[in-house]
Structure 1
Amino acid sequence: MKFLKRFLRILLILVLLMFILGWLYSKYAAPKYSGELELKNISDKVTVYFDEIGVPHINAQNEKDAYVALGYVHAQDRLWQMELMRRIASGRLSEIFGKDLVRVDQFFGGLGIEEAAKKTIKKLDTTSQAYLLSEAYLKGVNQFLEEGKTPIEFYMVGVKKEKYTMKDIYNVFGYMSFSFAVAHKTDPLLTEIKEKLGNAHLQELMSTYSENLTINKTYNPKKIEATFSKTVSAIMNDLPVSPFIGSNSWVIAPGKTKNAKVIFSNDPHIAFAQPSVWYQNHIKTPEYEIYGYNIALMPFPLLGHNREYAYGLTMLANDDLNFYIEKENPENTLEYQTKEGLKKYEIRNKTIKIKGEADTTFQVKVSKHGPIMNGLIEHVIDDRPIAMNWIYTQLPNEMLEVSYGISHSKSLSDFKTSVAKIHAPGLNVMYGDAKDNIGWFSSAKLYQLRDSLSSKLYLDGASGKDEIVEFLPFKENPQAINPPSNFVYSANHQPDSVRGKLYPGYYQPQDRSKRIVELLKPKNDFTKEDVMKMIYDVKSSTASEIGRNLLKSVDKNSLSVSGRKAFSILEKWNGTHLKTSVAPTIYNRFLFEFLKNTYKDELGGSFDLFINSQLQDQVLVTQVERENSVWWDDISTIDKVETKEEVINTSFKNTISFLQNQLGENIDNWTWNRVISIEYEHAIGKAGGLLRKLFNVGPFETIGGNEVINNQIFKLDSTGVYKVTAGPSTRRVIDFSDIENSVSILPTGQSGNVFSEYYKDQTQKYLNGEFVKMKLNQVEIQKSENVLVLKPKN
């Protein structure tokens, strides 16, 4: 008994010691938000005020000092995120995570992002402000790397510290650009459908691209007043940081606002992860001011505002990636055919370092069109060499100058000049200012192929007939400045025509854009509060209509009592996705069953490329309305040709049966919150157990769903459980009638350091649709409890 007591006493002491040591380490490892530090590479004192959500308000005497300080404070909150971001595009994740990420490294290492970065850096103007301030930012990051507290993740996975360079910045640009690309999944699928199933199957899919569209029109006014005063599917799923996906934005002109000033709104949709993708910061010098949202290792904000103007972005989704079939010399596979004759491939030998394993090497052949993707993309299964031609690596890269320019504009004309330099990814750049101007610019290097050639199918690389004929001048891109409607908007939908034709792309269906127009058009007295409510809207303008169109083919008389009740609930649904709603649960299961029973028999294993894709979203509305379709027949039933009614009736009955097994017999209990949830996953928290509890944030119940304004993106699959994977990466509302009280919110928090008080402090507010202030008032800022003074280091 004495032994047991002594053992328990010792155990208790050990537990207490471990708790105390853990608590002491958490205090030691937390970022430094107050006090004094000596900083190299600054010429004068810099004062950083951290507000109540951890946003640094950097007050400096000059921009160079401000950007050194930004680099330092950004690194102390997000160094782990920076490390992951720079490793993706260069194919270096296996080095810290092991063999499970080799295929990710092969894929990104083969794309040519690093090679394009090296080529661009050689040509940079090292005397430009964009370059000099970027170097200043990197110096701040590297001082923290050398002298600051090492993030716990570095110890856990064994990261060897390496200085950050300009190449790392361009690797992040490259990753960001590719994460927008959709063609790498869709083009191989459409080509397979054409070659294996035939033209009839293909055309039913392709014809939908010109149907069911909400299009914002091009509009260019004659006069503007705007001068300011100074002041792959599985591969992508494996990524430990957030790919870019979609977005909403709308800007309302004074003619439709209560206070007769512009109101700006933006919520970019990005895959959820922890930490959040954006790092908020506010820089103020005697000559310059910007409140910005930066991606890790990007010195200049892609979203920002000040007292003069605001800007943001959504994904344009234009087609900037094509595949070419190369024809190799049968006598020498290192040569391929061109219009001018045989040409040698460029050979890139790549090495991947793997944690705990021997290095592995692979070789990439590169034609004039780009890298040969056979073996790099798993679903490119073809005996022919397939080259990927990606605008990002093919054309000069001016993204550093773009990001500097849009954050340092002195006029609308100045701003437009900067966005005209964007080549890839294609972006809808949204704009509003204190001079009452609003604008939307589809910014990308648009191009033309010969007539009747589809960029969504494999092109002929040997003949020379399928080459890009012309790159269009920016003035021909769809855009609008101060249109008569008094608003501009973007939700990744089809933009206006270019040279009389709809420009090809992988645009989202009209769901969100239609809802935005429904809310904006009738009202002429918008307030900031109205827009805050609108950005959290969870009503679909199309889902309820799709559901009712599906129900038209259901034989209600053949249904059970439960089936008839479910029918009635879905029939009366207005498209709202609330926690207590039952209809979204029925609709999404019905949708999965419908898609599976319509397409899986023909597509087989490629059904996984189709479901949850932009192509699936695009064809859905039209397919539901078709009475006759080559896709209705189940090819596995040889002696029978199925009809639309049979497919839909089977799908609805399967839906009821599945939900009864999953959620019980009582349909009133099939509420949306029982099947949908959200968890913000950290790269290490994905391992589960205690690491999940320490690093991940969640899981939580949520409202919203696919393609509503509060876009909670999830995948339809056989489980009937919807784990939200992406959504608004921030929500911002900027009111030029009350600029100092503009608001925003992040999904979790400002810091990526698990020991920071700002790691997840915004989470519940975000889930509730609440906001926090983006402070610009200097008197208010200087009342901050946490003040960090950075002094020049001798």
Structure 2
Amino acid sequence: MPPNTTASSGQQPGRPGRKKGRKARLLVLVLVLAIVGGIAYGAYWSISTVRASLPQTTGTATLQGLSGPVDVKRDSYGIPQIYASSDEDLFMAQGYVQAQDRFYEMDVRRHMTSGRLSEMFGKSQVKNDEFLRTLGWDRVAKKEYDTTLSASTKKYLQAYSKGVNAYLKGKDGKDISVEYAALGFTNDYAPQKWTPVDSLAWLKAMAWDLRGNMQDEIDRALMTSRLGPKQIADLYPEYPYSRNQTIVQEGQYDELTKTFEQDDDSTGTTDGTPAGGTTDTTSDSSGTALTTQLSSLYNVLDDVPTAVGVNGNGIGSNSWVVGGEHTITGKPLLANDPHLSPSLPSVWYQMGLHCRTVSSTCQYDVTGYTFAGMPGVIIGHNQNISWGMTNSGVDVTDLYLEKLTGDGYLVDGKVKPFTTRTEKIKVAGGSTKTIVVRETNNGPLLSDRDDELVKVGKKATVDSAAPDRSDGYGIALRWTALEPGTSMDAVFAMDRASDWDSFRAAAAKFDVPSQNLIYADTKNNIGYTLPGKIPTRASGDDGSIPAPGWDSKYDWTGYIPQSALPNEYNPKQGYIVTANQAVVDKDYPFTLTTDWGYGTRSQRITDLIKQKIKGGGKISTDDMRQMQLDNSSEIAKLLVPKLLKIDVDDPDVRQAQKLLEGWDYTQDADSAAAAYFNAIWRNVLKLAFGNKLPKELRVKGQCLTVEPADDTGPADEDKKVRECGERDADQAQPDGGDRWFEVVRNLLDDPNSDWWKTPASGTRPGASNEDQLFKRAMIDARWELTSKLGKDIDSWSWGRLHRLFLKNQTLGTDGPTVIKYLLNRGPWKLGGGEAAVDATGWNAAGGYGVVWVPSMRMVVNLADFDKSKWINLTGASGHAFSAHYTDQTGKWVKGELLTWSFSKKAVDGSTSDTLTLKP
């Protein structure tokens, strides 16, 4: 099954019924035992099946459609470097090689993006497919391919698809991956040919996970049911501009023109949007409708499979570049580590794409990280420049409450007809589900996909795809990614850019998702640019909460022109840091978002750079690596001095309190102090806010299913536990990210705030002020860790709580236990933590387990590319039996980096296997 999904009615993917399901389970069990054991009657079958699915990496292979031979050189970690003499050959070979290593992953991804998961995994995925069809990612990608992309990009996408399909030709599922062999017992699914649209649609899925503040829009609107404006403002404090530095310090949105003239390639208007606006839904009935709609929408959004993130919540990334005046090489150093959901295989795929001779017919010499299923390189370097990305968090989504009437919706007092389309969802086993998608001028009605919100006609049949929904309200989504764009053009253009001007021109095409892009080149220049299609809104609307769709004054008015977007080039300070903090200060005349990250990580990185260069110090590649591993807790620095002043009577709690004495605030895996402090922090959040937030804010992810702390391997289903602490499962609770750091920091100035009040519970005391609540949190944390880790605090460690499990994102998530054991890996005990530079994130609402990670790490040395370093979370291969399935994970856990060969000489020196592809 796809990420973060759950089979309905307790059935496994593709199981048509209970008896058939039992039979399928037995057959899969036999298959796995044969594979694992490799003995008795299953020995020949298991060995031949495994060998058939592993890629050929030596010798020669024929690839029809090539114009000349292509060499695929793999190092000892299986990372491929491809050498060709034409662009088309290069990308055709890329498709072939990625399919060799990762086709099952690619296949699942395209079924997710097209809303066709039910074809692979059965009826448990129908609801997800309904929602994904409503968004229509593949439909937008098809329009993109037909109308907006350049001829060269289409040519490369076609070549890539030919390579994938050349690999698939003549192969059965079991010849491609073990997962297909397992699925073969439950349905008759067979892989289909790859298309260019399959590659494009993945960018839409990535944009969905990086979409910005949609969740905050929902949360703020739901808070109005229980909290007043002052309380909501407490929970969404202003960005601390005076304490945490913005990205752009010396650059301008446009230094040459203050009138923000529109670029030739820009769309939209130049209307500005003042910050701080509010949306008035105008009536009690619409306000009630909004609360009802949004609280139900929570459940729908929770079930949507994720692409790269955690359903858009909490994730971030680090990137920074240091100019040559501050480095030991005299040339820039550039670091990047995107923070994404852990997955197996990793979302990233490492490779190099090299033209034997760079010319007009073969233009690429680039290496780095890309996604399996997509041509080109997303993050990395070519022979002249390097670049990195972090999510900008700009607001590119708006939810609209729509008034529905009959077959239409109201706009300025007039009824407009819906735009509708029919979608047929095929389900493994032969059945079909038909739905009708309705769209307003603001986008698709997401609320149509929630059964609780749709009044179905009394005698609705299978053919009645659009039952009577009667009058009422609905929720529509407007999102820049639902319009055809040019992001794929940008990928190829960045891959061949040679300087700052060509890089910025390329980046301007990267419209969705909007990313912070940092830059460095071999001529000792560094820079930053913010591209993206970012909407402008009418005066008074800042996009912070859902808007009334029936009033056209809340429509988008256009997009911020490219000439007005922030950028910075060779700043005097000699470095640029981006880690999801505010891009610009409050003087910027457009609203980019009201929901920046609060700058905890970015300021820590900035401080580390300043410390290193103070007095003329120089930064090395290894210094950059060490900065990536910094795990100090900024919230601990703030709270621990206060916690140590609290008088504690209970000797057991006092014993735990002593762990904090002399602690340096680092969150190493073996740190008992880090374990205790993070438990205190979690309990502070629960006590101060958990019983005060509207219960509608509760989401399924806040009560996480996790493995017990003392397990040493993948947990059986019956050993898993629900981590909800002592709170009511229907009680909302903060996730503990750096917004909550800022909330608590501000409340420290008001020790008698109502937020610090909490009732007694059993023998645990209540609290009426800040110190009393902190004391209660220390007590609760002591006994929570006693329960989880034992009474002996000498045995406590942060890593025992804070563990990483790598799970195959389909059968490893919801397949039979023995399949999970076969496909999954872990646990690893990790250091780091929430809003640390080493951002091994955990959700305080659900426990301490790792839910997002630095998905890769890289440090690029612009003085000598062969001295650059990189690491992936898992490995190059998606095959569970490959030596390269998780061969980088151990080094990743230790914070080590691998040698990153780029020059022909270095690649040849590191090559272990060579495969020659011939026409």
Q: What TM-score do the two structures reach when normalised by structure 1?
A: 0.90
Task: Select the residue among 203, 217, 224 that pairs with 2:248.
Answer: 217
Q: 1:186 to 1:19 in 2, by over 3 A?
A: same
Contact 1:323 1:387 in 2 (8 A): yes
SS at match of 2:745: helix
Q: Which among 157, 160, 164 is matched to residue 141 of structure 1?
A: 164
Please give the alpha-carbon distance, in whole angstroms, between the structure 2 residues aligned to 1:647 and 1:362.
51
For residue 315 of structure 1, what is the aligned residue in structure 2?
Answer: 391
Match of 1:342 among 415, 418, 430: 415
Shift of 1:487: 0.6
Moved more, 165-174 or 107-116: 107-116
* 1:316 positional shift: 0.6
Q: Which of 421, 430, 436 is 1:363 aligned to?
A: 436
Contact 2:149 2:488 in 1 (8 A): no
Shift of 1:732: 0.6
Kindly indicate whether residue 560 of structure 2 is the aligned counterpart of residue 536 of structure 1. no
Give, in whole Å, the separation in 1 of the partners of 2:511 and 2:684.
Answer: 39
What's the offset of the Cα at 1:363? 2.9
| Residue 663 in structure 1 maps to residue 789 in structure 2 | yes
C-alpha displacement of 1:426: 1.6
Q: Aligned partners of 2:192 and 2:742: how far apart in 1?
A: 45
Q: Distance in 2 between matches of 1:465 and 1:713?
A: 40
Structure 2 counterparts to residues 284-683 of structure 1, below 5 A: 284-285=354-355, 286-287=357-358, 288-329=364-405, 332=406, 334-339=407-412, 341-356=414-429, 358-376=431-449, 384-394=473-483, 396-497=484-585, 499-500=588-589, 503-524=592-613, 525-540=618-633, 542-548=634-640, 551=643, 556-570=646-660, 572-609=662-699, 611-612=734-735, 616=740, 619-633=743-757, 642-682=768-808, 683=810
**Is the Cα contact below 8 Å between 2:219 and 2:697 reproduced in 1?**
no
**Does the 8 Å CA contact 1:246/1:314 hold for their aligned counterparts?**
yes
What is the distance in 1 between the residues matched to 2:51 and 2:381?
34
Q: How far is the alpha carbon of 1:240 from its aligned partner?
A: 7.0
Q: Which moved more, 1:91-100 or 1:730-739?
A: 91-100
1:152 and 2:178 matched = yes
Distance 1:520-1:402 versus aligned 2 partners, 3 A rule: same
Paired residue for 1:46, among 67, 70, 82?
Answer: 70
Are the equivalent residues in 1 in contact too, given 2:542–2:591 (CA < 8 A)?
Answer: no
Aligned counterpart, 2:324: 254
- The alpha carbon displacement at 1:464 in A equals 1.5
Cross-structure match for 2:716: none
**1:56 and 1:545, CA in 2 relative to 1: closer, same or farther beyond 3 A?**
same
CA, structure 1 residues 14+335, in 2 after alignment: closer, same or farther (shift >3 Å)? Answer: closer
461 and 726 in structure 1: CA distance in 2 versus 1, 3 angstrom threshold: same
Answering whether residue 218 of structure 2 is matched by residue 188 of structure 1, we say yes
- Tell me the CA shift for residue 744 of structure 1: 0.4
SS in 2 for 1:602: coil
Alignment of 1:95-134 (within 5 A): 95-125=119-149, 128-134=151-157
**Cα deviation code 1:316-365 (max 9, x no counterpart):** 11111111111233xx2x21121373211112333333334743333332
Tell me if the contact between 1:322 and 1:388 (Cα under 8 Å) persists in the aligned partners: yes
Shift of 1:635: 9.2
Distance 1:379 1:645, change over 3 A: farther
What is the aligned partner in structure 1 of residue 339 from structure 2? 269
What is aligned with 1:9? none
Distance 2:451 2:561 in 1: 36
What is the SS of the residue equivalent to 1:576? coil
- CA–CA distance in structure 2, aligned partners of residues 443 and 316 of structure 1: 9
2: distance between equivalents of 1:384 and 1:123?
34
C-alpha displacement of 1:123:
0.6
> C-alpha separation between the residues in 1 aligned to 2:159 and 2:316?
32
> Residue 227 of structure 1 corresponds to which residue in structure 2?
none
Q: Which runs of 5+ in 1 are unaligned?
A: 1-12, 225-231
Q: Paired residues, what number?
A: 761
CA contact (8 A) 1:745 1:766 kept: yes
Q: Does 1:197 align with 2:224?
A: no
The Cα of 1:776 is off from its aligned counterpart by: 1.5
Please provide the CA RMSD for this pair.
Answer: 2.9
1:185/1:233 contact within 8 Å kept: no
d(CA) in 1 for partners of 2:880, 2:496: 33
Q: Is the 8 A contact 1:67 1:299 kept in 2?
A: yes
Deviation at 1:549, TM superposition (A): 6.6
Query: Offset of 1:725 from its aligned partner?
Result: 2.2
SS at match of 1:73: helix
Q: Corresponding residue for 2:268?
A: none
* d(CA) in 1 for partners of 2:147, 2:443: 21
CA apart distance, 1:180 = 0.9
Contact 1:594 1:647 in 2 (8 A): yes
Q: Are the aligned partners of 1:263 and 1:735 in contact in 2 as well (CA < 8 Å)?
A: yes
- Identical pairs, percent: 26
Give the drift of 1:311. 1.1
1:550, 1:624 within 8 Å by CA — same for their partners in 2? no
CA distance in 2 between counterparts of 1:517 and 1:129 reads 40
Paired residue type of 1:389:
R
Task: Name which of structure 1's ranges 622-631 and 297-306 shifts more when overlaid on structure 2.
Answer: 622-631
CA spacing shift, 1:463–1:100, aligned 2, 3 Å? same
Structure 2 CA distance, aligned partners of 1:204 and 1:308? 47
Q: What is the CA deviation profile of residues 626-675 of structure 1, one whole-angstrom value per residue up to 9, with x for unaligned ones?
A: 435454455999xx994444433332221122222322222232211221
- The match for 2:8 is none
Question: CA offsets per residue over residues 588-646 of structure 1, 9 Å max, x none?
Answer: 22222222222222324334355327654653433454435454455999xx9944444
Output the amino acid matched with 1:129.
Answer: S
Which residue of 776, 786, 793 corresponds with 2:913?
A: 786
Provide closer, same or farther for how the CA distance between residues 220 and 579 of structure 1 changes in structure 2, counting only shifts above 3 A.
closer
Is the 1:315–1:428 Cα contact (8 Å) retained in structure 2? yes
- Please report the TM-score for the alignment, with normalisation by the length of structure 2: 0.78
CA distance in 2, matches of 1:406, 1:271: 25
**1:299 partner amino acid:** P
